[in-house]
Amino acid sequence: MQQNLSSTEPIVSLHNVQKSFGPLRVLDGVSFTVARGEVLALIGRSGSGKSTALRCIDRFEKVDGGEIVVCGHRVDRPDVDLRALRQDVGIVFQSYNLFPHLTIEQNITLAPCAVKGMAASQAKDLARKVLAQVGLEEKLHAYPEQLSGGQQQRAAIARSLAMQPKVMLFDEVTSALDPELTAEVLKVIEQLAADGMTMVMVTHEMGFAKGIADRIVFMHRGKVHETGPASILTSPTTPELTQFVGTGNLKS
């Protein structure tokens, strides 16, 4: 399945993607691409289909039509190699979802050992490295419930990083956090962007999106309603985006 990726080929591309839940059409011909090293922010009103679009990329939802290619995997095809796809894609959710019965170190080393067959000692070194990346070295042996929400979310990011994904997906990873904890998580994501990680993030933090995103995709009623560089947030062209950024969503 996996083709050799040329450096110009997009890491993620969606073309005319359709998705319905029963009678409800959630994605109605969504198309966008994400180039290597690019940060794309998905924004839009609640229910506009942002999470669904993101989940389609990692095949947590099967699409009804259209084409999705991620790191050379044809995600829209039924025969896609899910395990290969998910080794190339890291996903972080709003609700952290750390495994409560495992220490932070065990949370991080589980997948590299079980999926990639990495030796335990090597995986432990890796755990230290990715935890340092998110500023949590001292929590190696703590259990998730001993961490604050912001720390848990950073640990979840570290857990994803340990699989060395080619692209990271973030679905409103700070929505459950208060402003102070939000800031520490956003700092980690900023650093990842600076390190050249390819990212797709659904976010309500407009100020953050403006500062970090190379491109904005504004979704409205299951369609990409407006897209462009971060500057469209300050000078939107469609009335819907104008209204969206005008209703107090744009804070720094």
Partner 1 sequence: MNLQLDFPAVLERWPSFLAGAALTLELAFFATVLGALLGTLAAVGRGTRNSLIAGACKVYVETIRNTPLLVQIFLVYFGLASLGLKYSAFTVAVAALTINVGAYTAEIMRAGFEAIPRGQIEAAEGLALSRLQIYWHIILLPAIEKVYPALTSQFVLLMLASSVCSQISAEELTAVANYIQSDTYRAFETYIIVAVLYVILSLVMRAGFWSLGLVLFPRRRRLGTPL
Ligand X SMILES: Nc1ncnc2c1ncn2[C@@H]1O[C@H](COP(=O)(O)OP(=O)(O)OP(=O)(O)O)[C@@H](O)[C@H]1O
Q: Which residues bind partner 1 (CB under 8 A)?
A: 58, 60, 82-84, 86-87, 89-91, 93, 95, 97-101, 110-111, 114-115, 143, 145-146, 156, 159-160, 163
As a whole number of angstroms, the distance between CA 175 and CA 178 comes to 8
Q: Distance from CA of residue 168 to its chain's centroid? A: 5
Applying the rule CB under 6 A, the residues between 5 and 64 that interact with ligand X are: 21, 24, 26, 44, 46-52
Confirm or reject binding of residue 209 to ligand X (CB under 6 A): no
Residue by residue, DSSP assigns 176-211 as: TS-HHHHHHHHHHHHHHHHTT-EEEEE-S-HHHHHH
Of the pair 170, 208, the CB lying nearest partner 1 is at: 170
Which one of Mg ion, partner 1, ligand X, none interacts with residue 1, CB within 5 to 8 A by kind? Answer: none
State the amino acid at position 44 in one-letter form.
G
Which one of Mg ion, ligand X, partner 1, none interacts with residue 99, CB within 5 to 8 A by kind? Answer: partner 1
Q: Are strands 167-171 and 198-202 parallel, antiparallel or unpaired?
A: parallel
As a whole number of angstroms, the distance between CA 175 and CA 208 comes to 13
Which one of ligand X, partner 1, Mg ion, none interacts with residue 26, CB within 5 to 8 A by kind? Answer: ligand X
HEC profile of 87-124: HHEEEECCCCCCCCCCCHHHHHHHHHHHHHCCCHHHHH
Q: Are 54 and 169 within 8 A, CB to CB?
A: yes
Of the pair 34, 241, the CB lying nearest partner 1 is at: 34
Of the pair 51, 107, the CB lying nearest Mg ion is at: 51
Of the pair 47, 211, the CB lying nearest Mg ion is at: 47
Q: Which residue has the tokens 């819907």?
A: 240
Of the pair 94, 106, the CB lying nearest Mg ion is at: 94
As a whole number of angstroms, the distance between CA 26 and CA 18 comes to 8
Q: What's the closest the beta carbon of residue 46 comes to Mg ion, in angstroms? A: 7
Confirm or reject binding of residue 51 to Mg ion (CB under 5 A): yes
Confirm or reject binding of residue 90 to ligand X (CB under 6 A): no
Which residues of this protein are in contact with ligand X, per CB under 6 A? 21, 24, 26, 44, 46-52
Residues near Mg ion, by CB under 5 A? 51
